[in-house]
Amino acid sequence: MKKRNIVLLILLLLAIDQAIKIYVKTHFYYGEECYVFGQDWFRLHFLENPGMAWGLKFGEGYLAKVVLILFRLAAIVWGTFYIKKMISKGYAKIFIICAAFIYAGALGNLIDGAFFGIIFEKSDPALQNIAKIFPSGGGYSGFLNGNVVDMWFFPIIDTRLPDWLPQWGGNKFTFFDPVFNTADVWISTGVISLLIFQNKRRKDLKISNKKKSKYIEGNGTVLNNDQ
């Protein structure tokens, strides 16, 4: 697979991710929510995440944020060399595409954390303001101290558990509860697809080896392990 095609794919995925994030950041106030196509289970819900996926963090404060950004940067550098290696060694196209999805997602979230604090006005939940891009007074934080923009929310099940249920009775239950972004979708798509195709490849290889073994036994062929 040509390097140019992979670069174009990564740039396309990155452009989609950043365009959606910039639109949400400059058209929604923090916490604002809208129903996509009028569907209750498909919503745009603007939140900002100072940490990793699912709100995980290395700690609190600027130092923790820098560590997170450096961790993402190291993953991007490693991913760059690994994708080059996959292409040069002739890996199957599907595996390279999966790696490109993961790479684009990681790069998208890295850009948020590195630059969004510089170029965007703060989205204040109390003021419910619509943030401006490149505000005259500067951004809401410095380099490497920005937040990741999240927006996709799929509460497919949003209900109240029956009172007779032990321990959880009467509590609100939502599935799927986390709010995530398009970069997270790229990463998840790449990882899940990679696992599926890797598992399929192992099964196909196992079946192929069994057929080869039966063919050899049927023809009375003896394999020399030294050859």
**Eight-state DSSP code of residue 133:** B
Q: Compute the distance between CA of residue 224 and CA of residue 35 in angstroms, rounded to an integer.
A: 66
Dihedral, 206, 212, 213, 216 alpha carbons, nearest 10: -170
Q: What is the C-alpha to C-alpha distance for residues 147 and 115, in angstroms, rounded to an integer?
A: 9
Q: Which of 112, 124, 150, 163 is catalytic?
A: 150
CB-CB contact of 106 with 137 (8 Å): no
- CA–CA dist 11, 101 (Å, integer): 10
Q: What share of the chain is helix, strand, coil (3-state, %, to 5)?
A: 55, 10, 35
Torsion of CA 42, 48, 51, 56, to 10 degrees: -40
- DSSP per-residue letters across 97-111: HHHHHHHHHHHHHHH
Token digits of residue 127: 């003021």
Would you call 150 a catalytic residue per the annotation?
A: yes
Largest CA distance in the chain: 82
User: Per the residue annotation, which of 17, 158, 184, 226 is the catalytic one?
Assistant: 184
Tokens of 80: 């760059």
- Residue 18 carries which side chain, given as an amino acid letter? Q
Which amino acids are annotated catalytic? 150, 184
